Structure 1
């Protein structure tokens, strides 16, 4: 029996928190004086929104098939990515069999090489790819994790990213990852403040809970090494994305210089198997952190995972909620997952992509259960009350 074909592909834009989780109104820990590459400029130090981190908004991709099935996905990219989907990528999707995921991915990627390869174009490709996986799951009446090999465990433990790892431990998470607040431009006082906060959290959390620092591309090699060694006494489990993502040499130098037992994690802002091949072969990381909504979608994430496994590396995707949960449950080298604490004070568990997704699973006592993912596709629906805008149309 021939597979249904894709009959429609549409791209919408949303504003407000959700897939673009930096697009928050009001006070929120995620926008509270966090070290960034822009922090060298005092005027952009207090808020990441001040330099435009939330300007794109959320991209919503909807795919429909000839049998009446539909699928969708959300990621970042907003209006520019919507243009790419409607005006360029749609030609490789419409009329294709819903099972032709590898061919569609290769055509989308190969056709955009002259202006893509990473960043916004890969966000758009990821959105289309995830929507097609969701569509295929509805055609087959299967959850995505079952279509990529099935679950290798019944529960998935999680750590929490947010301003209060101490509260995350109380909620049952493995531990927490703090955003680094002060970078090199804030000198010795900032360095001391970073360590002070780490010490306070360790004292509250106890000796066994995981504690990590997310440096969000904001450091130089010297600062990162000094921070890691100074933080060792507080049991820092890993240091994350210490230098800009294109500085593979810097990541490798930092990893070699880390104190015994401390790991280096990175890859949130990397894309495709070729980018992660550089990270793996240059010895840049112990934990790879692709975001399935940015790295090329699930089709490419599976390739990245195979590459990482051959190098003995863990793959712990950045955020991305249900889109990474289905992946992680089916992978032996993804033994735990990240959960972004999207409550403004990081003091309670709320769905990561709220209000955009309905039925979005959240960890209970710090763990996800495979039964939470048993609906077709990615198992979530798009909130019908959202103010979707379709800025471009094919043709």
Structure 2
């Protein structure tokens, strides 16, 4: 089967929610006094937007084939990433077959290695890679998960990330991951407040419901160790991203120091097979949590997952909606998935990438049937009501 070639790559930006899910209005739980590495500065403690977490906005990548079929994807990166896609990455795709995703990925990564390797550049590569998989699925009239080997289970089960695990339990989720609200700069009083919040949620949720803390890179080793041991009494299932993503040595020490039975997880802000190899070879964590829109896309996530599978490490991708669902449903070592509660009060299930995507499936009673993914590509469309801006061309 000869497929059309890639005619054009285009990059757009858009503001307000969607892939840049931190770009929310006032009063949203996701920006309410959450512990961060910047919380040591009082002026940046109340809001993550105050130090610029939402400055980039969403990146939308479109790849058009010679027959007019368009694949697309959304991730973060905004205008700087759009420049990289248009001015640098597009040359590695146009005129090629969409089946050449391995060669394309390799050239995008090594062609940008001198200024990339992680962060913004890999976000851009991820967006292009996801759009390429979407295009390939549409050209073959198959969902991406079929291209990845097919479903290994009939449905996905989810835990919910949000400020109200007690409400998430009532919605059928298997667990609830709470943002940690107080970091080391708030001292013993802040530590007590963190533990009290956990205790309150444990009382509301009962003993059979997972509770986790998302620490968003905010802690030091001593604080993280103390938090983990104090949380043991309340059955904390895992402590997530407690340290800087570059502190592999600290994670290895935390994993050794954590209470028996409590998992240490990280990887949301890690990238590529080489970064995750460090996490696994140094025995930094029990679960890795790559974001498919940030770690290198599906092409790279397959390599990361294979390494993890050989080591008995679970891969539970960070958020990313349909882009991770199509992956998780095909992997034995990804037994459940994360769902970000994007309702401002975390009191209802809303599509994660709203308003940018149409047709985005959401869990019902904490689950999603594999058949909900049975549309070509990733099965979603761009919302025509959302205004896209193309800041660069080539």
Partners of 2:47 and 2:158 in 1: CA distance? 27
Q: Which residue of 2 aligns with 1:18?
A: 18
In structure 2, C-alpha distance between the alignment counterparts of 1:375 and 1:382, rounded to whole Å: 15
Q: Report whether the alignment pairs 1:224 with 2:224.
A: yes
- The within-5 A match list for 1:232-311 is 232-311=232-311
Q: RMSD of the alignment, in Å?
A: 0.5
Q: How far apart are 1:119 and its partner, in Å?
A: 0.1
Q: 1:234 Cα deviation (Å)?
A: 0.3
Structure 1: 4+ residue segments shifted above 6 A: none
What do the CA deviations read for 1:270-315 (whole angstroms, capped 9, x no partner)? 0000000000000001000000000000000000000000111000
The alignment partner of 2:67 has SS state of coil
Give CA deviations for 1:326-377 in whole Å, capped at 9, x if unaligned: 0000000000000000000000000000000000000000001101100000
Give secondary structure in 2 for the equivalent of 1:116.
coil
- Listed as ranges, the matches of 1:110-149 within 5 Å are 110-149=110-149
Tell me the residue number matched to 2:30: 30
The answer for the alignment partner of 1:342 in structure 2 is: 342
Rounded to whole Å, the distance in 2 between the matches of 1:384 and 1:298 is 26
Which residue of the partner structure matches residue 370 of structure 1? 370
Q: Distance in 1 between matches of 2:332 and 2:69?
A: 31
How far off is 1:68 after superposition?
2.1
The yes-or-no answer on 1:7 pairing with 2:7 is: yes
Q: Which residue of 2 aligns with 1:189?
A: 189
**What do the CA deviations read for 1:234-265 (whole angstroms, capped 9, x no partner)?**
00000000000000000010000111110011
The reply on whether 1:80 has 2:111 as its aligned counterpart is no
Aligned to 1:177: 177
SS in 1 for 2:8: strand
CA deviation profile, 1:153-180 (whole Å, cap 9, x unmatched): 0011100000000100000000100000
* Separation (CA, whole Å) in 1 of partners of 2:370 and 2:112: 36
Q: Aligned equivalents of 2:247 and 2:133: distance in 1?
A: 33
Distance 2:305 2:386 in 1: 34
Q: Take 1:189 and 1:248, find their aligned partners in 2: how far apart are those partners?
A: 28
Equivalent runs, 1:310-325 vs 2, <5 Å: 310-325=310-325
Equivalent pairs counted in the alignment come to: 394
- Looking at structure 1, the residues matched to 36 and 55 of structure 2 have their Cα atoms a distance apart, in angstroms, of 16
Tell me which residue corresponds to 1:67: 67
Unaligned runs of 5+ in 2: none
| Distance in 1, Cα, partners of 2:305 & 2:76 | 22
Shift of 1:26: 2.1
Question: Where does the alignment leave 5 or more consecutive residues of structure 1 unmatched?
Answer: none
How much has 1:2 moved relative to structure 2? 2.6
Instruction: Kindly provide the CA deviation profile for residues 5-64 of structure 1, in whole angstroms up to 9, marking residues without a partner as x.
Output: 000110000000010000011210000000000000000000000000000000000001
